[in-house]
Amino acid sequence: MPPTTVLVAAQSIGEGLDGAQVACAIGRGLVAANLGLDADPCPIDELPADLDARMRRARAVVIAAEHLDHETLLRRDCACEVATRARQTGVPCYAVAASVGLDLFEARILDLQVVLEAHGKRALASAGRRLAGVV
C-alpha cells in the first residue's frame, strides 16, 4: 500500500505566521480535500534531526517559505535543503511561497513538481487543497 502521508516542511512566511502555523494550514487543506491524505506538519526554521526518516516515509514533500527566488537558492536555506534531500531520496517535492521568483530552470534545479503562491492561512489551506489533487 503506498504511503498517504505528505510531509509539510514550512518556514515562517510573514503575516505573523510561524513555520508550525504555515505547515498546519497547508496540512488542513491537504486533509480537507478528502482524498485519503494525511499531513505531517514539520516546521523547518531549523532542520529537525528526524527529517530524513520522516521524508522516506512520506508520499510527497511540500516545502513552504516566505520567498522562493534566485537568492533563496544562493543562500541554501532550509526550504532548499529539504527540496534537495527530497530529490536525493526520490520523494516528489512541491512548493508554496508567499512570493515566487523562480524561473522554470531554477524550479527544475530543486526538482519542484508544482510551485504555488499563497498569502495568509486561508490561501495556504487552499494551496493544500490544490496540491492534494496532484500529490
pLDDT tens digits along 64-91: 999 999 888 777 789 999 999 999 999 9
* Extents of the domains making up the chain: 5-132
The CATH architecture one would assign to domain 5-132 is 3-Layer(aba) Sandwich (3.40)
Instruction: Lay out the sheet containing 5-10: strands in order across.
Output: 38-43, 5-10, 60-68, 93-100, 112-117
pLDDT tens digits along 84-117: 999 999 999 999 999 999 999 999 989 999 999 9
